[in-house]
Amino acid sequence: MPSLKRSASPRLTRLTARASPYNTSVTLFEAQDTASIPKISDSPRRSKRVKLEAEEPKFTIKEEENRNPTPTEPEASGSGSSTPKKRAAKSPRKPKPIQQSLAVPHPAPENWQETYATIKRMRSQIVAPVDTMGCDQAQYKEAEPKNRRFATLISLMLSSQTKDEVTDAAVSKLRSAIGGSLTVDALINAEDVVIGEAIGKVGFWRRKTEYIKKTAQRLRDDFDSDVPKTVDELCSLPGVGPKMAFLALQVAWNLNVGIGVDVHVHRITNRLGWHKPPTKNPEETRLNLQSWLPIELHPDINHMLVGFGQVMCLPVGPRCDLCDLSANGLCPSAQKVTKTKSRKAVTLTAVKYENDSPPKIEIALEPEETKPILSDFTLQKIEPT
């Protein structure tokens, strides 16, 4: 009878039982080599104690690359596939065209001509920050036409959610930091740190640093280092929206293709009741205004209302008591200002007399301070030349 000890040989053995030919009550066991046993895969019943390890298929270098595709290629659907299908490259998404008009024009507001003329008259007597530090002022420090247009675009990009005073200072500092002139090549070659330090006072300066660098690269690669002449091309630049595009075309190219609507224009026209129902964002305001405002007034309304909003129709605490629209009943949002009596300050002074007499208290009223009509700006009447 063969030994039942496990053999050290890597070959596997199996015990088979058979009845003894000498005595039927005796069962004999024999060790049988697995080579003579049918393969497990051929057996109808698979043992749970036997683990099958599929042999790893061998691949060529090319097939191995296909098994580990790049992010742009999908993995092979089957282990036997040596030439997986490549995913078709997606074409760059085309920017959505900027809407130019409404399907149904907004009706013209009542008495808008009188309101417009009143604001224009008041603006002729006001010097606002936009008049001296607006985006149109950046071009005057450049000599070349291309640089003038580029400086206008950069000023517009930096002006988003930033006061004109801060934007004007940032443009001047940036011009000095990159060599004395705002050119496409100078901005591309400038380090991000240099640009960031120059424009660090404007809102979202880190994001704007990235935007103006990418915009300069696009202008050099696609537009011959010049500002595009269409709204859709301008809006395809990083960080450029419809308001900037329309203003850039008006200032840089003298093209009147739409109204640049910012927060001032959006706020004031809604206060005047020119939108029914009120608009929710500047784009809705722009489409409404363009549908009924005469086209010859499109280039002027932004500059006029921005200065009016900076000095008179403030976001918080508008100066309705000084506004002619309130006095003439042309503004439905005018606030009534109640004048309170000013309190006069009282000064108590202890005066000690000679001859050891007790001190006496003298009471005096301080003179009232004369406050200017406008705290930040003054109304100036501009005489015609």
List active site positions: 243
What does the buried/exposed string (b/e) look like for 176-199 if buried means 16 or more CB atoms within 10 Å of the residue's CB? ebbeeebbbebbbebeeeebeebb
What contacts 24+ positions apart, CB below 8 Å, involve 8-12? Answer: 11/35
Q: Please tell me whether residue 307 adopts helix, strand or coil conformation.
A: helix
d(CA 299, CA 99): 18
How would you classify the pairing of strands 13-19 and 346-351? unpaired
The phi, psi pair for 351, rounded to 5°, reads -115, 125
Q: Measure the CA angle with vertex 342, ends 340 and 346; round to 5°.
A: 150
What does the buried/exposed string (b/e) look like for 122-147 if buried means 16 or more CB atoms within 10 Å of the residue's CB? bbeebebbbbebbbbbbbeebeeebb
Q: Are 302 and 262 in contact (CB under 8 A)?
A: yes
H or E stretch covering 157: helix 145-158
The phi, psi pair for 369, rounded to 5°, reads -80, 140
